[in-house]
Amino acid sequence: MKIRRGEIEGTLGQYLGNLATRGLLSLALALPYRMRVRTMGWFMAHVFAPLAGYTKRVRANLHHVMPDMPEAEIRRLMRAVPDNAGRTLIEIYSGPEFIARMKDIRFEGPGAEILREARDNRRPVILHTGHFGNYDVPRAALIAHGYDVGSLYNPMKNKFFNEHYVKAIGTIGQPLFPRGRRGYAQLLKHLKSGGMIGFLSDVYVNEGAMLTFFGQPAPTALSAAELALKYDALLVPIYGVRLEDGLHFRVQVEAPVPHTTAEEMAQALNDSLEAITRQHMEQWFWIHRRWKPERQARRRAKLEEAARHSVAEGKSDRK
């Protein structure tokens, strides 16, 4: 069943799901900032994630890449990972209260000074992060400190939810570019003018390059690396690391990835994200279906079958 609200159309399930989400967000936003962040973390970890099957997915992903991890650590991460996700969501929706905290953020790491020089000289920069810590902190903090940062975002499948989500991330900073031909063209214009653009590419990409993440095959987009090579832009890994109090952050800026090939550069990005995740295991979004080993197995089987078929046809033609 389809539901239409204004210019937005979606399924009844999407509409009802969005109503429930909006109600939850409204209740949380009525609380003082510190309490709302902690409450959303608790709710996500102890109520929503188990019901949605997210805790099982955390376990499955950890078993896939680290089968020897102790059970106690797995159980800790099954709670801590969705807790971080819940905190991130309500922080993004907290608008001015969240933005106000960005002015005092520390920029650390070997790339911090390089990033400042690039800003002052209008050198194109591609900032690369993952679904780690609060992934909107680097963008918000940079904008608060006078950096010209635009970001490419992937519209949500639930169009009702997407409407207010885009408004929330837009409040944190502009410009934003929706993934697609028009948004991509605007993104390139911003980059070529000497601006900085942000990418998140730690998700499964069906036709992506077969690179590795945590030692396992992980199809990965090459877009960020290819743009860096094409436009001679710095490619800088950057992360919003949640501090021990669960409420504050620091921004970790790594050294730019050397320009080599797109595959080598993209692998360096995967390695960078893996390294910081190993330091803060609970802060990466282990709920993602990053590897999809079953789909990869089917993909390999199809490729092998096509190769065998090609060889068989070749032998037949030679007879």
Q: Per-residue pLDDT for the chain (319 aa), expressed as one digit of tens each?
A: 565 656 566 676 666 677 778 888 899 999 999 999 999 999 999 999 999 999 999 999 999 999 999 999 999 999 999 999 999 999 999 999 999 999 899 999 999 999 999 999 999 999 999 999 999 999 999 999 999 998 877 676 777 776 777 787 777 878 888 878 888 899 899 999 999 999 888 999 988 999 999 999 999 999 999 999 999 999 999 999 999 999 999 999 999 999 999 999 999 999 999 999 999 999 999 999 999 988 877 777 776 677 676 666 666 666 5
Name the pTM for this structure: 0.88
Taking a C-beta distance cutoff of 8 angstroms, is the pair 201, 129 a contact?
no
Residue 123: closest CA among 109, 111, 107, 136: 111
Task: Return the pLDDT at 302.
Answer: 73
Query: Phi and psi of 255, rounded to 5°?
Result: -65, 145
Look at the alpha carbons of 289, 295, 296, 299 in this order and tell me if their dihedral is positive or negative: negative
**H or E, element range at 198:** strand 196-200
3-state helix, strand, coil in the chain (%, to 5): 55, 15, 25
Task: Return the pLDDT at 304.
Answer: 67
Task: Return the pLDDT at 87.
Answer: 98
Write the single-letter amino acid at 63.
H
